[in-house]
Chain A
Amino acid sequence: MIAPPRVWWKPLGQLERSWLLIGLVWCIFLTAMMPIWFFLGRQNVPATTYRATPEQFQAQVNAMIEQYKVGEERGFPIVEPPPGSDVFIQARMWQWYPIVKLKKGETYRLHLSSLDVQHGFSLQPMNLNFMVLPGYDYVVTITPTTAGEFYVVCNEYCGVGHHLMIGKIIVTE
């Protein structure tokens, strides 16, 4: 709060030097963890993105439903695309559409996009979260490692019905 003495450019004390060094090492470790996990870890942030207008994306969703529909639940079609295929899930106020059925241990290219405002894809209870933006087709390459019923919550505020927006993903053995 007061002006320092005229010459304040002084060497660090021993404890200060030690802490600075420990801090620097910790920061380098924090930095290194991200590329290490990128090469060795099995959970990495998807980077594949395409441009897609709402009309284009909706057409792809409808084509997929036509081809792979296996049932219906509460008005939502259930689709079961083959392993390795492209799966399209559309977000709009206030639903995730359609319900998809996946096989445990198989890999799918999940395409996420919005027809209106921004939404948040939040897979529960696995707790994996991604942004869903209109105009962007975000490709999440996913391999379910557990079977059961999973829910897709919207976790980006999208209007007054935000808390009604929930979808479903079924994973079979």
Chain B
Amino acid sequence: MAVTSIAREREHAIFRTCSATGLKVDLAAERLIIANAVVAVVMLLIGGIIALLLALTRWQAIHLLNPVWFYRLTTIHGIDMLVAWIVFFEVAGLYFGSTVLLNARMVKPSIAWFAFVLMLVGGLMVNVVVLMGGSDVMFTAYVPLKAHPLFYLGYILFAVGALIAVALFFVNVVVAKAEGRYEGSMPLVVFGLATAGIIATYTLLSGALAFVPAFFWSLGLVDNYDPGFFRNFFWSFGHPAQQINLAAMVAVWYALAFLTVGAVPLNEKLSRLAFILYIFFINLGSAHHLLVDPGPSFAWKATNTSYAMYLAVLGSMIHAFSIPAALEVALRRQGHKRGLLEWLRKAPWREPGFAALVVSMFVFGWIGGVTGVTIGTEQINMLAHNTLRIPGHFHATVVGGTTLAFMGLTYYLIPLIFRRELKLKKLAIWQPYVYGLGMALVSVGMIAAGLQGVSRRHWDVTFTQAPFQSPVPGTVHLALAVMGIGAIIAIIGGTMFLLVVLSSVFTGKRQEATSVTLVVDPPPFLGYMSEKEEKDAQLQPRGTFVIVLVFLMFFAAYYLSNWWLLGRTWMVR
């Protein structure tokens, strides 16, 4: 059934066959994956060092940096982490998904290198311009706060490079199908990455709509740039950019579940439906940032902020069930059938990918997801907008969730793609727990401070040099200390990650991978369930069902308590 619309003999791709998985790896794709992943990790290193300095400044008892450097480094931290680290890694992931997982080739490596250079130049340009001063405008760069023209140009170059990389992903997928590199439907992980790619396309186009006029405005070629217009288009880039992470992260979750316990999706239809819900509805999330803006009406805000009836949230609730359920069923099929939760006790907790998966899902869902839906509720947003609750939410999603999932996947790229022995395994075993604990404390500390009205992006909540001092209760200082201590723990976890990765990549023995797992024995691969197994009562994911019900109760409690809090404040309309 192979269709050969492009003659195979005309291709120049050179493949190797992976000894652990049997997958064919195009060496040109491999080099691109390595380059993008390495730059991503370097960006993570820079952003991480800055993160520590910022946390130690906001921890009022230490208050490390002066205001100029605090605001300058906050700008760089946002851009390097939210854009550079994540997008570079996602490009690596997109190339991996569209070539290695499909046994396919990188169709145009030269263009991929061009995209890589554009992104690198754009990213460096923004970093250098901000460090030189005069462009301390934050990640959001709200007009009419003006930065140097090269700041906007850097953003644009980066976005164009990323857009080209996304286009190449689709080209790879289409050509792989046309050349018959894989049979039947594409694997769910690639489907998830394709979702991320579709979201990325309109996200990056919106970014261009926001930044191209801003570039001309900063050059003085355009007189007036409406701040409301900019906010709308910026957030059509800024928030969906995090939804690219969401889709890519969920795809990585499915991948880690497969690698570490051999789990396959219980129902492909349901999991794919969840991704499709993301594609249709999640871009409305840009309204989350405009909920207390002058301009839009109640109906506009309510419809958009709910992603049209919370259907994108439904997508996440589906994954919240189907991924742990896939783990549970896989472990039950391996013989851990007793009671509700035996499978959980017998799970490979020492395997870094499994630990990263579970901790990432927990921090993302229980902290990030719950708080995100709550503060994205139109009226409740009045209590949360621009307070530390916002970074509290997205440090749980993007850092505790996405970054940790990507770290987990990186451990597997080392033997499979870098073809090096994984060094410092003991550190790798503990790393997801340390990092997850740190980020959970950072998020909870920020949320607790934000609930008490502490602003985000603020150098001094005690207002010592200001004309008035608003009283700061001791509980605020406690919350900020929790955040600071969490940041130190997270930095230790981040350092552990870098030590493992750098020592493996530079000093690890060159070798072909022999196993997909790193610490425990590779899981038996049982494939998709037979009809008889599907009917087996002992293989049903009952434990997961109980866990998600508890999750829903926690969700409801947090959500409803916020309405209660809102009801106690001044009357406003």
Contact = CB atoms under 8 A, between A and B. Distances in A.
Interface in B141-162: 142-145
Contact of B292 (A3, A37, A129, A166): A129
B270 interface: yes
B317 interface: yes
Interface string B266-287: 1111100000000000000000
Interface residue tally on B, bucketed by range: 35 or more
A108 to B, nearest CB: 11
B314 A136 contact: no
Interface of A: 1-6, 8-10, 12-16, 18-20, 22-24, 26-28, 30-31, 33-35, 37-38, 41-47, 49, 74-76, 95, 107, 112, 116-118, 120, 122-131, 133-138, 140-146, 151, 153-168
Nearest to B535: A13
Closest 5 CB pairs of A and B: A138-B294, A151-B470, A27-B310, A155-B455, A8-B268
B379 A3 contact: no
Nearest to B549: A22
B545 A142 contact: no
B115 to A, nearest CB: 25
Contacts of B99: none
Given A15-B542, A142-B571, 19 more contacts: A1-B255, A4-B265, A9-B268, A19-B317, A26-B317, A42-B572, A74-B468, A118-B227, A120-B386, A127-B387, A133-B294, A134-B144, A134-B227, A135-B228, A136-B295, A143-B571, A146-B570, A159-B145, A166-B463
B572 A168 contact: no
Of the candidates A35, A134, A164, the one having the most CB atoms from chain B within 10 angstroms of its own CB is: A164
Contact of B466 (A23, A124, A127, A163): A163
Contacts of A14: 540
A4 to B, nearest CB: 5
A153 B455 contact: yes
Contacts of B384: 129
A139 B26 CA distance: 60
Contacts of A37: 379, 563
Contact of B455 (A3, A4, A26, A122): A122
B566 A22 contact: no
Nearest to B302: A34
A43 B296 contact: no
A103 to B, nearest CB: 13
7 contacts: A4-B268, A16-B325, A19-B545, A23-B321, A43-B572, A162-B459, A163-B460
A159 B325 CA distance: 49
A140 B232 CA distance: 21
Contacts of A117: 142, 144-145
B321 A19 contact: yes
B301 interface: yes
Contact of B309 (A31, A38, A43, A131): A31
Nearest to B542: A15
Given A31-B306, A131-B293, A122 B387 contact: yes
Contact of A1 (B258, B270, B313, B382): B258
Contacts of B373: 30
Given A23-B318, A166-B463, A166-B467, A143 B296 contact: no
B571 A128 contact: no
Interface stretch (B41-49, B177-185, B213-221, B498-506): B177-185
B521 interface: no
A1 B569 contact: no
Nearest to A50: B294
Nearest to A153: B455
Contact of A129 (B259, B309, B387, B528): B387
B269 A9 contact: yes
A27 B458 contact: no
B403 interface: no
Contacts of B268: 4, 8-10
A125 B565 CA distance: 13
B195 to A, nearest CB: 15
Given A37-B379, A45-B378, A3 B306 contact: no
Contact of B572 (A16, A95, A140): A140
Contacts of B301: 45
Contacts of B386: 120, 122, 129, 155-156
Contacts of A5: 184, 528
B38 to A, nearest CB: 23
A30 B306 contact: yes
A43 B325 CA distance: 40
A164 B466 contact: yes
Contacts of A74: 467-468
